[in-house]
Structure 1
Amino acid sequence: MKHISDPISTTHAGRIRAGDHLCLPFASEAEQREVVSAYIADGLRRGERVLYFADRTRPDAIDAWLGPRGVDGALAIARGQLDVRPAGDGAFDPADVVVGIRDAVRDARAAGFQGLRLTGEMSWALRGEPGTVRLHQYESGVASTVVDSGDLAAVCQYDERLFARAELPALLARHAGVVRIDPLHDDRRLRIVPTYSPRGLRIGGVVDDATSAPLAAALAQAAGWPAADPRLVLDLAELDFIDVAGIRALVRFAESLAPGRRVVVHRMPATMRRVLTLVDWPLEASDEPPCP
């Protein structure tokens, strides 16, 4: 499934700071979990309070999300740093929630926290009466609260599988930008970013002797992802150069996967395709662009 078009600004989960009002459009639970858990964990480590409005996610699942990031969610809840609340029922009143957020910012300051992080699953608006108007009211209220507060960051979660695609651009426009998962590696030569629909990696820049180690590390991490889809898709559209050693690393990685799993390379550079043909290395290629 394709994401809707992103607003101009994109912020990675580990770089969100007070004053940011961002949107997370996601198309899978894996993407939601990765981005939101990074956002929450970063806030907890910074000494901020985190307020989570859960709608389709069980509140006890949030603790499980944080475990792999080395954060004890249950402890954070017990000491009042992490507050997971239901998003409400069909009578959910955006105005009341915005007032509650302003109170929560004040309470976080009074309790000695460095600020407040808010995130909510916006699927609450799909219950009961049509909620588009209420949703715009809510987003406007959150945006003004973020601007006025100085101690608040907010990430609004939109499941693209639930919302009508025609409605999403206007809703996203009420945010300063979108939030995406942090790259697995990002320096001046090589950038590797997880993708979710389908599951895989987007690799850009240069793969050579200097960058083969981070590529191998990212591939090893990807190999450990749950295999709901037997394919692991590598999108090479942004790859500027790869040497023979880099191609060999990709082939060896593909050969090391568990039986039934396979690597599919999307938008393979022509030079790489020629090398594979010459040496007869088996690596599945596809010219079909993957979903971002």
Structure 2
Amino acid sequence: MVSSSKTRQVRKVRLGDHLCLPFSSDDEQREVLTTYIVDGLARGERVIYYADQTAPDMIGSWLADSGVETGRMVDEGRLEIRPINNNYLFDGRFEPDVVITTLWVEVRQARDAGYPGLRISGEMTSDLRPVADERALVDFEHRLARAFHSRELAAICQYDQRVFDPSAVTGMIACHPQVVQIDPLHDDHRMRIVPTYLPRGLKIIGNIDVMTVGAFTTTLRLANRWPVQNLHLNLSELEFIDVAGVRAIVHAAADLAPGRHLVIEQLAPGLRKVFEVVGWDRTPGLRFTDEAEGVGT
């Protein structure tokens, strides 16, 4: 778990940021990187994506789904999607100094072309692992970090937690000032709703009451359209829920197609009693984590 002081919402990324994205879900990678690229293009920055495990056509489809004319952006030189092995590996070797020098050439070229800066992201995954051990990658990240004082470069280094050992991911996170994450779907002084990916769902932080139940209900309806069998609702940091909030959850569960479930996770015993008082805990389509074995994800 990364503390909130060590996280940066992706829409708040600016030139000069050197951030880490440790991910374990294709959905999380897609949502964070799509937002990052779209935001950079909207700011007039040049964007380069160094792809490894993700096919360039797939990245193009991410952007197209967000309304980006990928072909035009590429033709105009504003966006480039490159294989990482052609840009990070030289004669089969990982050469950190060469990579960093090459990046600074790209920064200078972007500046000379009139861009305010360069926004990059690289999938630090399978092509690098056989030729660059953890020590080499840590050394590279530390050298790269020293380059961000110029405020002409922003970078998100992607580490797939399904590929690297947990200790290696921890080491890579430590090389970065902050971890990047997707923006909350709702955030005010009373309630914050954050997407979760393993399992797919929502985490609710704060209070569901008369002031927030409208936003909560709207977000639940949108999440119910996600193409997953079950939607998980993490309530570990829920402080209060009133009857209107419980009713919103019950209605969301009842609206699910047969075979799908709304799975409530880590609800405090005292708050669960609110469901039990009128029997709403027995609503079809509604499950609690202590009942959810065999339900699936």
TM-score (norm 1): 0.91
1:258 matched residue in structure 2: 257
Contact 1:91/1:128, CA 8 A, preserved across alignment: no
Structure 2: where are the runs of 5+ without partners? 292-297
Residue 216 (structure 1) aligned with residue 217 (structure 2)? yes
- For 1:92 and 1:7, locate their aligned partners in 2 and report how far apart those are by CA, in whole Å: 33
Q: Which residue of 1 aligns with 2:295?
A: none
Structure 1 residue 118: Cα displacement: 1.0
Whichever residue aligns with residue 232 of structure 2, its letter is V
CA shift for structure 1 position 55: 0.6
Could you say which residue in structure 2 is the equivalent of 1:107? 109
What is the number of equivalent residue pairs in this alignment?
282
Kindly indicate whether the alpha-carbon contact (under 8 Å) linking 1:201 and 1:235 is maintained by their aligned counterparts in 2: yes
Q: Does 1:240 align with 2:243?
A: no
Give the 5 Å matches for 1:145-160.
145-147=147-149, 149-160=150-161
Partner of 2:272: 273
Write out aligned runs for 1:122-201 (5 A): 122-124=124-126, 126-147=128-149, 149-201=150-202
In the alignment, the residues of structure 2 paired with residue 160 and residue 111 of structure 1 have an alpha-carbon distance, to the nearest angstrom, of: 37
| Offset of residue 69 of structure 1 | 2.3
Q: Could you tell me how far 1:70 is from its partner in structure 2?
A: 2.4
TM-score w.r.t. length of structure 2:
0.89
Contact 1:54 1:85 in 2 (8 A): yes
Q: Output the CA distance in 2 between the equivalents of 1:15 and 1:5.
A: 18
| In 1: Cα distance, 2:3 partner to 2:164 partner | 16
Q: Secondary structure at the match of 2:205?
A: strand
Partner SS state of residue 93, structure 2: coil
* Structure 2 CA distance for aligned equivalents of residues 224 and 97 of structure 1: 42
Q: 2:3, 2:206 → 1: CA distance?
A: 22
Question: Distance in 1 between the 2:96 and 2:252 partners?
Answer: 50
- Percent identity between the aligned chains? 46
User: Mind listing any 5+ residue stretches in structure 1 that lack a counterpart?
Assistant: none
Distance 1:273 1:247, change over 3 A: same
Q: What amino acid is aligned across from residue 289 of structure 2 in structure 1?
A: S
Q: Distance in 2 between matches of 1:216 and 1:109?
A: 46
d(CA) in 1 for partners of 2:109 and 2:221?
A: 43
Q: 1:270: how far off?
A: 3.0
Distance across 2 between alignment mates of 1:125 and 1:105: 24
Q: What secondary structure, in the 3-state scheme, does the structure 2 residue paired with 1:175 have?
A: coil
Q: After superposition, give the CA deviation of every residue in 1:10-54 in whole Å (9 maximum; x if it has no partner).
A: 001100011111100000101100111111111110101111110
Counterpart residue type for residue 205 of structure 1: G
* Matched-pair contact (CA < 8 Å) for 1:122–1:156: yes
Whole-angstrom CA distance in 2 between matches of 1:190 and 1:226: 25
- Aligned ranges 1:18-167 → 2 under 5 Å: 18-88=15-85, 90-124=92-126, 126-147=128-149, 149-167=150-168
The answer to whether the 8 A contact 1:200-1:222 is kept is yes
Distance 1:14 1:217, change over 3 A: same
Return the offset for 1:73. 2.1
Amino acid at match of 1:263: L
Aligned 8 A contact 1:51 1:117 in 2 = yes
Residue type of the alignment partner of 1:70: G
Let me know the Cα RMSD of the aligned residues.
1.8
Summarize deviations over 1:80-113 as a string: whole Å, max 9, x none. 1111111115434322221111011111111111
Output the CA distance in 2 between the equivalents of 1:9 and 1:31: 18
Residue 126 of structure 2 contacts residue 163 of structure 2 at CA under 8 Å; is this kept in 1? no
Per the TM alignment, residue 141 of structure 1 is displaced from its structure 2 partner at its CA by 2.6
Structure 2 Cα separation of the partners of residues 144 and 73 of structure 1: 32
